[in-house]
Amino acid sequence: RAGGEWAIGRRVRLYWEDDKEWFEGEVQAFDGSPEAVDSHGTAGAVHEVVYEDGPFWENLATAKWQIDAMQGPSGQPVARPAGQGPSSGAAGGRVKQRAVLKSDVGGKSE
């Protein structure tokens, strides 16, 4: 997949500076259009991340974030058995926590 579409279906964690806390979710969509704006008002390519409390559009270029390394290397589509599409997470939009996470080179590192 081109652009940021490789992240669709990936489990991610984003650090929200105001809350000083990491939040887990799953990337459901990508908008690379010039008009794209994230839920915090930052312009640029955005990913829709579905958290336990609902979806938010996130600009991963400006966010501190991590991917679940168990799903394969950064920059490549999620590694899944043939015929299996993106997961919908656990019931209620909650995404199960994974112990192995890897900082992505596209975002800010800890």
Residues 6 or more apart whose CB falls under 8 angstroms from that of 97 comprise 24
Q: How far apart are CA 11 and CA 79, in angstroms?
A: 12
Pick from 35, 15, 31: which is nearest to 23 by CA? 15
Its pTM stands at 0.68
The confidence score (pLDDT) of residue 2 equals: 56
Backbone angles phi, psi at 91, to 5 degrees: -55, 145
Q: What local confidence, expressed as pLDDT, does residue 85 receive?
A: 52
pLDDT for the residue 103: 45
Residue with tokens 């991963």: 60
- Mind listing the pLDDT tens digit for each residue in 45-102? 999 999 999 999 999 999 999 988 888 777 777 766 555 554 444 333 333 333 334 4
Greater pLDDT, 40 or 58: 58
Residue 107's pLDDT band (cuts 50, 70, 90)? low
